[in-house]
Amino acid sequence: MFSADALTDFVSAGPTPGASPQEQWRPVPSETLSTGARENLTLPPRPLRWLFLDLNSYFASVEQQLNPALRGKPILVAPVDSDTTVAIAASIEAKRFGIKTGTPVWEAKRLCRDIIVTPARHDKYVEFHDAIIAEIWRHIPVTKVCSIDEVACHLLDNENSVAAVTALAHRIKAGIRTNIGDCMTSSIGVAPNRLLAKLASDMMKPDGLIILHAETLPHRLYDLPLRDIAGIGAKMERRLAQEGINDIRQLCERRPRDAGNAWGGTNGDRLWYLLHGVDLPEKPTQSRTIGHSHVLSPGKRGLEPVRLTARRLALKAASRLRRKGYRSRLLVLHGKFEDDKSNWRVATKLPATQDSFVILAALDALFPQLAAAGRKRGGGFQLRMVGVTLGEIEPVAGEQQSLFAHLDPDDPLARETRGLALSRAMDSINEKFGRHAVSVGPIHGGRIDRVGTKIAFGRIPEAHEFHE
């Protein structure tokens, strides 16, 4: 694996006679290379280093595993029981009708008259996820859990021959089916780096196994759309098109630095090396926000149910903030109205805090702006989705006991100290006795949707989040 310093157009003019193994590959500035020379570049050795496992139609497969009556049938997993919501998962059988994640329920029913809509059970998906991860560990160490249904494993030298990695992949697949459930199939990709292994896992579904060898790169990728590459969305696709790059072939035929300039940003040439099979180190990432959103059921989209739901989401976000040892300096309230596909949002600064009561007070101050926006709409206030996000988060390091805890109870400084202590006490009670054992404000009486923990893209809830 190469250091980040080797990113500056690290290509090779070939091995140097008599040089040590460490000196065999020397960087050559790409601007000194002609077009003909670029066609004959020799890259460093790129053995198979990553195995990437992607569980097929994961949420729907779990539902079929739990309920034998659903097996072999087209099913759709939805967040709420409403035709206006969208699928968060579709079974393999449903996908044959063109139904996929994001398909509106009403459209899915039009595409397939026999579609079965089942409510999401996120706690079950996390239980199965934990069991599957444990099963994979029986065969190979798990290097990175990429999402609820994706896992990456680094291959050692005694595991990365074609024969060895093929046998390993089949053992993992068989172990999951035998010990977790027959419905839990997976597609596996193997390649010199994690990005390519992920691409390979998408090439054959369901239950596939694709190995991308270094000698086939990048030509093996030329038939794939640019959007198949993680990090290339509609905006980046347009940017690349403006630079004359409309497919993977055109990107790879550029010099590394030219490809990086087209991509833009720091280390923009990383993608060129990754597509050619170089195994670059991961760029460090850091959590920048903590938040929750909720799609409201049709009868709970009015002003007061939305307000109560937003407060509940804020409490959940604040609880996660404390558990991770962070504090926040920004609160964002956002949502989507029924007659508008775009996001509505408003934000306010916070004092650096992890106190639920400070966060709720800031939310209450923002809510009149959402109410005013809703009243301007012709059909009245009807909000389909509401979310609360805590931003500008930072670790709480070296926290000391407050000097103000013994001031007069009505003193603002003492009030903040007691609020944080009370917030932490609520966390402990809810973790011990279950969700809603204690909360702030009304949560019953039919005025608020059940706001459960859900699995977001790239984030798997911890088990005790289902008690918040």
At residue 105, the 3 state secondary structure works out as: helix
Q: How large is the average pLDDT for residues 201-206?
A: 94
- Mean pLDDT, all residues of the chain: 80
User: Which one of the listed residues 107, 150, 338, 416 is annotated catalytic?
Assistant: 150
Model confidence at 10, pLDDT cuts 50, 70, 90, reads very low
- Give the span between the Cα atoms of 432 and 437, in whole angstroms: 9
What's the confidence (pLDDT) of residue 450?
A: 55
Number of other residues whose CB lies within 10 A of the CB of residue 156:
10
Pairing of strands 383-391, 326-337: antiparallel
Q: Give yes or no for residue 406 having a pLDDT over 90.
A: no
What's the confidence (pLDDT) of residue 43?
A: 75
What's the confidence (pLDDT) of residue 416?
A: 56
- Give the span between the Cα atoms of 169 and 152, in whole angstroms: 12
Q: How large is the average pLDDT for residues 290-308?
A: 88
What sign for the dihedral angle of Cα 38, 41, 43, 45? positive
- Give the span between the Cα atoms of 9 and 126, in whole angstroms: 42
Q: Give yes or no for residue 350 having a pLDDT over 70.
A: yes
Model confidence at 61, pLDDT cuts 50, 70, 90, reads very high
Q: How large is the average pLDDT for residues 312-334?
A: 90
What's the confidence (pLDDT) of residue 230?
A: 82
What's the confidence (pLDDT) of residue 433?
A: 57
Amino acid residing at 237: E
Q: Give yes or no for residue 155 having a pLDDT over 90.
A: yes
The candidate with the shortest Cα–Cα distance to 188, out of 51, 50, 59, 61, is: 51
Residue 171's alpha-carbon distances to 65, 164, 179, 201, in angstroms, are 20, 11, 12, 16
Tokens 């969305």 appear where?
A: 233
What sign for the dihedral angle of Cα 254, 257, 259, 262? negative
Structure tokens of 170? 């089949």
User: Which residues, 6+ apart, have CB-to-CB distance to 119 below 8 Å?
Assistant: 77, 78, 79, 80, 81
Model confidence at 15, pLDDT cuts 50, 70, 90, reads very low
Model confidence at 97, pLDDT cuts 50, 70, 90, reads very high
Whether the bond into 218 is cis, omega within 30 of 0 = yes
Percent of the chain with pLDDT over 90: 47
Model confidence at 423, pLDDT cuts 50, 70, 90, reads low
User: Which residues, 6+ apart, have CB-to-CB distance to 12 below 8 Å?
Assistant: 25, 26, 27, 28, 41, 42, 43, 44
Question: CA-based Rg of the chain, rounded to a whole angstrom?
Answer: 26
Q: Give yes or no for residue 396 having a pLDDT over 80.
A: yes
Q: Tens of pLDDT along 212-245?
A: 999 999 999 999 999 998 878 888 889 889 888 8
Q: Give yes or no for residue 295 having a pLDDT over 70.
A: yes
Catalytic residue status for 150: yes
Q: Which domains does the chain have, with CATH numbers?
A: 4-46+217-275 (no CATH), 47-211 (3.30.70.270), 290-467 (3.30.1490.100)
Q: How large is the average pLDDT for residues 92-120?
A: 94
DSSP string spanning 315-359? Answer: HHHHHHHHHTTEEEEEEEEEEEETT--SPEEEEEEEEEE--HHHH
What's the confidence (pLDDT) of residue 80?
A: 79
Q: Give yes or no for residue 429 having a pLDDT over 80.
A: no
What's the confidence (pLDDT) of residue 325?
A: 87
- Give the span between the Cα atoms of 255 and 4, in whole angstroms: 18
Least confident of 209-213, 276-280, 359-363, 453-457: 453-457
E-only strand ranges, 44-123 = 50-55, 75-78, 89-90, 116-119
Q: Give yes or no for residue 35 having a pLDDT over 70.
A: no
Least confident of 54-58, 203-207, 293-297, 343-347: 293-297
Q: Give yes or no for residue 39 having a pLDDT over 50.
A: no
